Amino acid sequence: MSVNLLGTKIGMTQVFTENGTCTPVTVLKVGPCIITQIKTDTTDGYNAIQLGYAQISSHLLTKPQLGHLNKSHAPALKYLKEYKTHNAETFYVGQIIKVDQIKVGDKINVQGKSIGKGFSGYQKRHNFSRGPMSHGCKNHRQPGSIGAGTTPGRVFPGKKMAGRLGNYTITIQNLSIIDVNVEQNLMLVKGSVPGKPGALVSIESKSNHT
């Protein structure tokens, strides 16, 4: 059964194995998540569950958002995310899903927003080579030609130019679980995951644990 959870990236550190091997890991605070809605083929045309994460003050939500959560008797939650599932009948509204659903050695997919770098230039965004830096040169960090003149008389879509860098939705697949702390809802994942510390991450595990 696929296990889906929401969590927060804490940061990165390193752990050492018994033979002295250093492994870089990312610390994630995962759950607890509350099922706020269950969608089925009969009611919505597809099977899915909606998870809520990160309890906040109710005055930070709108009345429609609070009304939706009140239907499932859930507290005010900052994040809601929907996951498709083939066995929606095994879940129920109000069910709490914790990090204990994932075991050491499992493989997970982690999705998050990459760090945003703002408006960036050609060298930083696309690894362009710079122009000569000698006296008299005026194209130190310029893009060069961006297209022909009269024909076609425009710049083709997709041309590599300066613009927004980062803040993309990225999924890292098949990350190994190094350790799980059920008491503090923490999980150590081998390698790096997208986003800054404090960023929301979505976790999908293909484990068969119940």
Is the per-residue pLDDT at 4 higher than 90? no
pLDDT bin (cut points 50, 70, 90) of residue 210 is very low
| The pLDDT of residue 202 | 92
Q: pTM of the entire structure?
A: 0.78
Is the per-residue pLDDT at 89 higher than 80? no
Q: Are strands 200-205 and 3-16 parallel, antiparallel or unpaired?
A: antiparallel
Higher pLDDT, 1 or 157: 157
Average pLDDT (87-101) is 82
In degrees and rounded to multiples of 5, residue 64 shows phi and psi of -60, -40
Task: Give the separation between CA 189 and CA 28, rounded to whole angstroms.
Answer: 8
Average pLDDT (124-144) is 91
| The pLDDT of residue 27 | 94
Q: Which residues pair with 200 in a beta bridge?
A: 8
Is the per-residue pLDDT at 46 higher than 80? yes
Average pLDDT (106-126) is 92
Residue bearing tokens 């709108």: 62
Q: Spell 13-45 as b/e; 16+ CB within 10 A means b.
A: eeeeeeeeeeeebbbbbbbebbbbbbbeeeeee
pLDDT tens across 146-174, in order? 888 898 899 999 999 999 999 999 999 99
| The pLDDT of residue 207 | 61
Alpha helices in the chain (DSSP H): 63-71, 122-126
Q: Which of 75-89, 129-143, 196-210 has the lowest mean pLDDT?
A: 196-210
Q: Which of 21-25, 98-102, 117-121, 193-197 has the lowest mean pLDDT?
A: 98-102
| The pLDDT of residue 58 | 86
Average pLDDT (75-88) is 86
Q: Which residues pair with 24 in a beta bridge?
A: 14
| The pLDDT of residue 144 | 86
Domain positions in the chain: 3-117+169-205, 119-147+159-165
| The pLDDT of residue 168 | 92
Integer distance in angstroms from the first to the last C-alpha of the chain?
8
CATH of domain 3-117+169-205: 2.40.30.10
Q: Of 115, 100, 97, which is closest to residue 12 (Cα–Cα)?
A: 115
